Chain A
């Protein structure tokens, strides 16, 4: 029995602040999250999993209408795995790795976003946003310390106390069917979407470029034989001089995205009389299909100058926006959520300084710039802004038919990969020689391992809290590493320990450490690990520091640095 997540409606219930006016003055919630979209839900679940009680408020009482965001990246899936709902997403979603670019009706470029085996998750799944929200919501509803309040619209924001100190808090005025009430939290996460009421209430804005082009999304339901690949046409015979994107979603729904040009009439183009012939031109005159969802949109690449304002933290579309080509909207928002949740938890717990939250802003502003840069480049290719830009775009496409070099310039969207937070102040710079991609600041890559003689994945062993990963090759844990591990076990900050061995896992006697058997050697290879190599991993599965030889003092320093403890910057 499948649930129609688009038609679900959630009940408004009066809350305790409404029955005890003034009660908000005494009790501040640790965190209030505003907006029950993918970003707000992910933030709230992550916080609740870290043991932080959360109130999540939403001005509506339903999930996403229409499929909207459909491409969820491997990194988002890795995050959803940690949040406890990745498997459902992948089971329902359509997995894909391959994209094809056509000029007219000729294939000019093929890319594979995950050319190597040995990863738990595909490069992408396509899944309608209402499923993503539905699965996240069901996970959120399992959490006893996560309270969701529907039909609760934020109409006022007031910051109290001195930011950065313990007396700082935020009072929200929340409007409900029973009128307004005051809701106070130490921190507020504004995940309230691209039109962010909180951003407006605070007199802030998100600035950037709006592109002069219109696109039509027609999601159609049909039985079709197209492969599960991302197909992008420039100037196809069925839609001359414009671009078209075709993508498969679950439930036999196909996303077709037609470029219309700036002069198109957004109201007229949404009518079935206009949409159906366009779809028929692609599918053929006899195709049977139903229109599932239609939308005409324009887009902008923009961001807020700063994602932190006092104790209000902006995440997702409220903080930044990109064009849809590249799937960098929802995916970057989910990464915002994960970056923010552990930092809030550490600060609220008193383990980290409030300054750690400044690094949420700086790290995710950096990531937003990367996403905006990629998105803008794609958009400039798809929608050239000047005649000469158009000449070069067409020249690239013409050359790409016969000359392989030009195919790498054909840009139909550079798809979302996690930003490498290379310059983050939380990193400890390499002192030892390392090769490969797992530099401090990089999101950890996956590898197949065995845990307790069962097939497992490395990423599932990492994160949620700080994790130390000791690679020991064919050998066991050497004495010096063992001594350092023992020191850490008694240390003030809980550190999850994982020993990755190429040899007999039974021979690893280190108690209190998870033992992962690297039977294929891919974990050692992907982390350029030698016996004794030690990685310190952040709760959000980003590499924090690494050494060729584990030393308890080094780890302690790196950990303090990653928590913005004084004297380590």
Chain B
């Protein structure tokens, strides 16, 4: 199994709103805890180790790449 990065969310905008709403009225520590719990819940649902490692790799690459891109002029909307 490989990580599906093609559109797969049944209701993308509703999901995103719910994700942000999860953090409503939470302080930073609570938000961090909620994020961590969410990651753990989703990871268990996926289960497959290779898929999880792939997601972890993409997430880390997304951060490691960031400093290099910071200086670039980026379009506001893509």
Contact = CB atoms under 8 A, between A and B. Distances in A.
A-B pairs, top 10 by smallest CB distance, nearest first, are: A395-B36, A405-B44, A395-B37, A391-B32, A392-B36, A391-B36, A395-B33, A399-B37, A395-B40, A399-B40
Interface string A375-406: 00000000000001001101110110001011
Contacts of B26: none
A391 B40 contact: no
A399 B33 contact: no
A409 B40 contact: yes
B19 interface: no
Interface in B14-47: 32-33, 36-37, 39-41, 44
A406 to B, nearest CB: 6
B33 A391 contact: yes
Contacts of B37: 395, 398-399
B contacts with A: majority SS? helix
A403 B41 contact: yes
Contacts of B44: 403, 405-406
Residue picked from A392, A403, A406, A409, most chain B C-beta under 10 Å: A392
Interface residues of B, number: 8
Interface string A199-216: 000000000000000000
A283 to B, nearest CB: 32
A contacts with B: majority SS? helix
B33 A398 contact: yes
A127 B39 CA distance: 41
Residue picked from A392, A395, A396, A399, most chain B C-beta under 10 Å: A395
Contacts of A406: 40, 44
Interface of A: 388, 391-392, 394-396, 398-399, 403, 405-406, 409
Given A391-B33, A395-B36, A395-B37, 13 more contacts: A391-B32, A391-B36, A392-B39, A394-B36, A395-B40, A396-B40, A398-B33, A398-B37, A403-B41, A405-B40, A405-B44, A406-B40, A406-B44
Nearest to B45: A405
Interface of B: 32-33, 36-37, 39-41, 44
A396 to B, nearest CB: 6
Contacts of B41: 399, 403
Nearest to B32: A391
Contacts of B40: 392, 395-396, 399, 405-406, 409
26 contacts: A388-B32, A391-B32, A391-B33, A391-B36, A392-B36, A392-B39, A392-B40, A394-B33, A394-B36, A395-B33, A395-B36, A395-B37, A395-B40, A396-B40, A398-B33, A398-B37, A399-B37, A399-B40, A399-B41, A403-B41, A403-B44, A405-B40, A405-B44, A406-B40, A406-B44, A409-B40
Contacts of A395: 33, 36-37, 40
Nearest to A409: B40
A403 B44 CA distance: 10
Contacts of A388: 32
A406 B36 CA distance: 12
Nearest to B33: A395
Nearest to B44: A405
A394 B40 CA distance: 11
A148 B31 CA distance: 63
Nearest to B34: A395
Nearest to B37: A395
B47 to A, nearest CB: 9
B36 to A, nearest CB: 4
A515 to B, nearest CB: 45
A409 to B, nearest CB: 7
Nearest to A387: B32
Contacts of A391: 32-33, 36
B48 to A, nearest CB: 14
A409 B43 CA distance: 12
Nearest to A405: B44
A361 B39 CA distance: 41
A201 to B, nearest CB: 45
Contacts of A398: 33, 37
Contacts of A405: 40, 44
Nearest to A403: B41
